[in-house]
Copies of this chain bind each other. A is one copy, B any other.
Amino acid sequence: MHRLSLFAALVLAALSVAADPLPSWKDGHAKQAITSFVTDVTNAGSPDFVPPAQRIAVFDNDGTLWVEQPMYTQLAFILDRVKALAPSHPEWQAQQPFKAALEGDLATLGAAGTEGLLQLVIATHSGMTSAEFETITLDWIGAARHPRFKQPYTQVVFQPMLELLEYLRGNGFKTFIVSGGGADFMRPWSEAVYGVPPEQVIGSQIQLAFEMRDGKAVVVREPKVAFIDDGAGKPVGIQRHIGRRPILAFGNSDGDLEMLQWTTGGAGRRLGLILHHTDGEREYAYDRKSPFGRLAKAMDLAPQNGWVLVSMKDDWSQVFAPAP
């Protein structure tokens, strides 16, 4: 009996280790903040209890769920698309910002600002049906490789974040992506990679139009940006799409500031998290001065708002998912 009890105790200990839902998160303040939040809002006896239907969690994508250096993945897509389309646009050889895109001249592209970027977005993201764009996106995401990690972009996603998404869903949360990137750029692969179905992906949008074309129903992507889901646009995108205020938000840059304010400004228990890229060895180290994912104001406002800074270097035992 004693030996059996010892055996049972060992099995239980093993199970409890195996049952850690966040194995890539080191013990510490960040992991503790997450697990105590989830425990409290899911405990029917707690004053912080939140009914399942209201357990809405929102996640930024670039720099929060996957790598955003040395440039946003969608910008790499845009540059590749400009190259692919260039043969039908000889005028681009002499016309900015297309010339800079073709030459990979990021300094000139940067100087062209949002307006220049939007010109490239429109040239590469419109003029086809939504079904055609889905194919273009899937073909690219399957073939492209991250320049440093030599992996598909859908492999340089953060393992601790995959665990967190799964942990939240296991506790009755509905998980949404709320990204400055294009919704239709993420939707074709979001379910396979993040377990987030297309209808839970909120992002920037191009103008769409319905048409009967040769007797076939199509939705056409028009050359006009309809919505930019960044900064103050994020709470707007959330309200338009979800219609209720999230109780958990996770971002990594000043583009997530308003989403954090909107989420944690509601009544009752709330959790705001910011991923701080502190790990130049395993990933990248950047914040205030980065052209992509600049983090300054949101970090400065974190203490007074109770937002938890997650340090990639200190809080994560593993950064990327193991290759399949």
Q: Which A residues lie at the B interface, using CB under 8 A?
A: 53, 56, 130, 174, 183-184, 187, 191, 197-201, 205, 208-210, 212, 216-217, 219, 226, 232-236, 239-244, 258, 261-262, 265-266
CB < 8 Å: which of B216, B241, B261 contacts A212? B261
CB < 8 Å: which of B199, B210, B235 contacts A243? B199
Complex Cα–Cα for A241 and B184 (A): 10
Complex Cα–Cα for A187 and B258 (A): 23
* Contact, CB under 8 Å: B235 / A187: no
* Contact, CB under 8 Å: A265 / B216: yes
CB < 8 Å: which of B174, B216, B235, B244 contacts A210? B235
* Contact, CB under 8 Å: A205 / B53: no
* Contact, CB under 8 Å: B198 / A244: yes
CB < 8 Å: which of B197, B205, B217 contacts A262? B217
- With a CB–CB cut-off of 8 A, which chain B residues contact A130? 239
Complex Cα–Cα for A191 and B197 (A): 20
CB distance from A50 to the nearest CB of B (A): 14
* Contacts A242-B199, A243-B201 given; does A236 touch B265 at CB 8 Å: no
Residue of B nearest to A191 (CB): B53
* Contacts A53-B197, A210-B258, A265-B216 given; does A205 touch B235 at CB 8 Å: no
- With a CB–CB cut-off of 8 A, which chain B residues contact A187? 243-244
* Contact, CB under 8 Å: A199 / B241: yes
CB distance from A239 to the nearest CB of B (A): 5
- With a CB–CB cut-off of 8 A, which chain B residues contact A216? 265
Residue of B nearest to A215 (CB): B265
Complex Cα–Cα for A235 and B212 (A): 11
CB distance from A31 to the nearest CB of B (A): 27
* Contacts A53-B197, A210-B258, A210-B262 given; does A217 touch B235 at CB 8 Å: yes
* Contact, CB under 8 Å: A210 / B236: yes
- With a CB–CB cut-off of 8 A, which chain B residues contact A210? 232-236, 258, 262
CB distance from A26 to the nearest CB of B (A): 32
New A-B pairs, 19, CB < 8 Å, besides A183-B240, A201-B243, A219-B262: A53-B197, A56-B199, A183-B243, A198-B242, A199-B200, A199-B242, A208-B236, A208-B239, A208-B240, A209-B236, A210-B233, A210-B235, A212-B261, A217-B261, A217-B265, A219-B235, A219-B236, A226-B240, A241-B241
Complex Cα–Cα for A232 and B213 (A): 13
Complex Cα–Cα for A174 and B198 (A): 12
